Chains A and B, each alone.
Chain A
Amino acid sequence: MRSKSQMAKQLLHATVLPIGLLVVWELLTRSGIINPQILPAPSKVFLRWIAYAKPLVPYREAHLGFLAWIFSGELPLDLFATSYRVVVGFLIGAGLALPLGLFMGTIDGVYKLFNPLIQILRPIPPIAYIPLAILWFGLGNPPAFFLISLGVFFPVLMNTISGVRNVDSIYLRAAQNLGAGGLTMFVRVILPAATPQILTGLRVGIGVGFICVIVAEMIAVNNGLGFRILEAREFFWSDKIIAGMLTIGLLGLGIDTAMNRLNDYLLRWHRGLDSK
């Protein structure tokens, strides 16, 4: 068990650089060396962040329950909108890529059939699909879902295929020797053995999906975190831009943490994990 002084030391060690930078930043903008329009002081950013997060209307005028009121500010609504799009896009993209990946990995005929098309489409970054997305789906959520699911699709697909194909043949032999037939082999051997790689694909996928949602919100949508920082730029609200960016970063961190928890739980048996 670490002692309190040890923990304090570690905390100090970890925070000295960020806090130091904040102090330097604050001083530089206060003293006017840096134009506060270009880079507002951290104190201003913080205040703007609070304003961004606060409910827009006082409680007595809102006619909402307390919980609904607390989260009625602009930031919570943006956060919810962005998260919603990422999750839906992820479910669509992964929902298509996982089965296809499993089929392509297991059955060589399917792989040979789809692979050429995949290799042609894969190098096109999802961002390049934006004009097409707007043409096909208009504005609002549909083009966003399309772009995000596209971004999620390819990493999940490639990693799923790879995971299935790279199952160590010793497990297949052992299972055959023990009498496992086709379906048992797939469900109880191939699938679990491929899970580490499939999960990697999902983590990369949601990362790409997250990038896509921010871009999509800047172009095709009129709410959400991506839209908000674009709007802030149009109004020269540089403090809000930074506040928005920090929020985006926190959302990304949250997604990452959630995926890591899932990973750790599903892969308790994996040798790569620290055995605790």
Chain B
Amino acid sequence: MDSCLPETAGIAKDTLQVRISRVHKVFTTDTSEVVALKDINLEINSGEFICILGPSGCGKSTLLNAIAGFSLPSSGKLIANGKEVTCPGPDRAMVFQEYALFPWMTVAQNVAFGLEIKKLPKEQIASRVNALLDKFNLHEFRDRFPKDLSGGMKQRVAIARVLALDSPMMLMDEPFGALDALTRRTLQDELLRIWMEFKKTVIFVTHSIQESIYLADRVVVMTYRPGTVKSIVPVVMQHPRDINSPQFISLQKELTHMVMEEQMRYQEDEVILAAGD
């Protein structure tokens, strides 16, 4: 299991953070075989902010889970941080859509969890946790349980928990999907600030076209099942980005067109499935 807990200090700062080559993922049940991912080829550079965009059923979460190590590919190679992905680990820290904060731990304990696993000395853990809580304005909530927090606060804690690990990569699976538009915008800006400050590689899954253009250096558009890379669209705009600028709007049109094509195929499938009942 050593390969699952690499010391991030020892990993060479390769310019390529993630290399995905010829990755296939098939889910087999008793009755059917679903090809979730087909021949995915993708290279992600260190410090890039990548958004994976697509409608439901395009396999974007499957791809992220593969990178995270929860669900390995049926074939193909997945290399992250210089090592082949074989299992989950703190070098590919993940923020989930459902927050996944441990409800029996306080905010401070949640943030400290990863550090305690690394067996850091107590004072170091305490100071790291305090610094992160201050950064996210969570200090007055440090002894509260997740049940007392709003969605936005919970997601901040989840991000803080991940940042504590000092992982070179952040995987995010539609983390702001369950939040209202205003909170979402605030957190997007916070995320960008953190990304720029800590120079992490971020792989961000979303179905929101606007969100993907607002955040990403490159947007990877995926096709509906079987999921392949339909197109990779670079976004060359300075932060903070103006959603009303002509460049933004034209990118939005381009991406909407692409995503809607796939969305149609998804909806056709839904009709077929419904008719079959």
Q: Given A177-B68, A178-B90, A178-B161, verify A170-B100 contact (CB < 8 Å).
A: yes
Number of residue pairs across A and B with beta carbons under 8 Å?
71
Are A275 and B90 in contact, CB atoms less than 8 angstroms apart? no
Are A271 and B103 in contact, CB atoms less than 8 angstroms apart? yes
Alpha-carbon separation in the docked complex, A193 to B68 (Å): 23
- Which residues of chain B are within 8 angstroms of A179 by Cβ–Cβ distance? 4-5, 89-90, 114, 117-118, 165
Closest to B147 in A: A271
Are B103 and A269 in contact, CB atoms less than 8 angstroms apart? yes
Interface assignment of A189: CB less than 8 Å from any CB of chain B: yes
Closest to B6 in A: A179
Are A193 and B104 in contact, CB atoms less than 8 angstroms apart? yes
Interface assignment of A174: CB less than 8 Å from any CB of chain B: yes
- Which residues of chain A are within 8 angstroms of B89 by Cβ–Cβ distance? 176-177, 179
Give A233 Cβ to nearest chain B Cβ, in Å.
Answer: 49
Interface assignment of A82: CB less than 8 Å from any CB of chain B: no
Are B148 and A275 in contact, CB atoms less than 8 angstroms apart? yes
Interface assignment of B113: CB less than 8 Å from any CB of chain A: yes
Q: Given A177-B93, A179-B118, A184-B117, verify A192-B102 contact (CB < 8 Å).
A: yes
Interface assignment of B1: CB less than 8 Å from any CB of chain A: yes
Q: Given A178-B117, A180-B117, verify A270-B98 contact (CB < 8 Å).
A: no
Closest to A271 in B: B147
- Which residues of chain A are within 8 angstroms of B145 by Cβ–Cβ distance? 268-269
Closest to A174 in B: B100
- Which residues of chain B are within 8 angstroms of A193 by Cβ–Cβ distance? 102, 104
Interface assignment of B70: CB less than 8 Å from any CB of chain A: yes
Seen from chain B, the residues whose Cβ lies within 8 Å of a Cβ on chain A are 1, 4-5, 68-70, 87-90, 92-94, 96, 98, 100, 102-105, 113-114, 117-118, 145-148, 161, 165
Extra pairs beyond A170-B98, A177-B88, A177-B92 (14, CB < 8 Å): A173-B94, A173-B100, A175-B102, A176-B69, A176-B88, A177-B68, A177-B89, A178-B113, A178-B117, A193-B102, A195-B104, A269-B104, A271-B147, A275-B147
